[in-house]
Amino acid sequence: MSLETLWLALLGLFLAGYFVLGGYDYGVQMLHPLLGGRRGGHETERAHREAERAHREAERPRGDAERPRGNAALDAMAPFFLGNEVWLVAFTGVMFGAFPYLEGTLLSGLYPLIVAILVGLVLGSAAVQLRGRAHSARARRGWGALIVFGGALPALCWGLVLGLLLHGIPRRTDGIFHIGPGDVLTPFVLACGATTALLFAAHGAAFIALRSAPEPAARARRAGTALLRAVGAAGSLALLLTLFGAGASMTNRLTSAVLAALFATALAAAWHWLSHGHRARAFAATCCATLLPVLLVGAGHYPYVLIDSAGAGLTVHEAAADGATLKILTVFGAVVIPVILAYQTWSWWAFRGRTGRRHPDYF
């Protein structure tokens, strides 16, 4: 394996990791008004929660008397909140360092969508932290709406980016890749955007079912199964458009077909396990489903990293930095990548288990 291919695989690893870990953040944000409540359920658990809340109220400073209770959905992701963005930072760093020509071409061509993703990320992160500091129901509703918006906008835009990469980005006569509104507002790209947004929402529901107390977990299971059916419908539309020549332009068709079949299998497995209450298996299946689109772009287009509408484009060799730079980055990556993996493993181990029992309210 050449260094160019190795670093392309690492680039895909970081983006896939962000889709898996950041994807459930987006999903939880989108679903928190529906799945974050804590009323209902067994009487024993309700009494236990009431006693805990009364105890917290008694010990709470007077100035915090009107502070709202935590949200069960947001509490599920709280220990990992903003920590998952390390994968996005790592992806950006690899692209800048190992693939400078791809970075210059891709970011300039997809500039409006990249800006929208960053805007949603900033607004959603700020709203999650400020919601609990609001002193009125109206303010909490406003911050809650921004939380949903901050999850839905990046999820949709990431899907649009994937759709454009699969279909091919138009190239101007000067060789620069460029998109306009007409390139985004096509049936295939919009279908990819809807598929990814719904997939992240279903992934978030599976995460809430895994992490939350029994009552919100049961609601998350029901929502997740419905969302997975919607993902299948939107994905089927994208597949039909591809079969009729209005969708993806894949370089390696056999590999792409296998990955598409694996994606459908992961969705079916997630629906089955979520329906039958196998929370860990369902979450593992939605993890697989969220990373497979990244693998589809990378493996389906190899040796191209970016294609135009005609099916030609920028190869991995043309996009990569020179060999000396890649060797230096390889030494650096041999140290940094294990640290990132160890940090993620430790954080999941430290905050394992359901919220509401071992862990307090965070937001």
Task: Express each pLDDT in 35-86 by its tens digit.
Answer: 866 544 443 344 445 545 544 544 444 444 344 456 888 888 888 887 788 8
The type of residue at 211 is R
- On the question of pLDDT at 3 being above 80, the answer is yes
What per-residue confidence (pLDDT) applies to 31? 94
Q: Report how far residue 102's alpha carbon sits from residue 108's, in angstroms, rounded to the nearest whole number.
A: 10
225-240 pLDDT, tens digit each:
999 999 999 999 999 9
What is the CA 163 to chain-centroid distance, rounded? 15
- On the question of pLDDT at 304 being above 80, the answer is yes
Q: Report how far residue 170's alpha carbon sits from residue 132's, in angstroms, rounded to the nearest whole number.
A: 45
Kindly report whether the global pTM for this prediction surpasses the value 0.95. no
- On the question of pLDDT at 258 being above 60, the answer is yes
169 within 8 A of 308, measured Cβ to Cβ: yes
355 within 8 A of 52, measured Cβ to Cβ: no
85-129 pLDDT, tens digit each:
889 999 999 999 999 888 777 777 788 899 999 999 999 999 998
Could you state, in order of their start, the residue ranges of all structural domains in the chain?
3-42+67-350
Two structure tokens written together for 262: 């694996």
Choose among 132, 144, 150: nearest CA to 66: 132
Give 355's contacts (C-beta < 8 A, 6+ positions apart): 72, 75, 76, 78, 211, 212, 213
Choose among 287, 128, 87: nearest CA to 199: 287
The continuous run of DSSP H or E covering 61 comes out as: none
What per-residue confidence (pLDDT) applies to 66? 42
Two structure tokens written together for 7: 């670093």
What per-residue confidence (pLDDT) applies to 64? 41
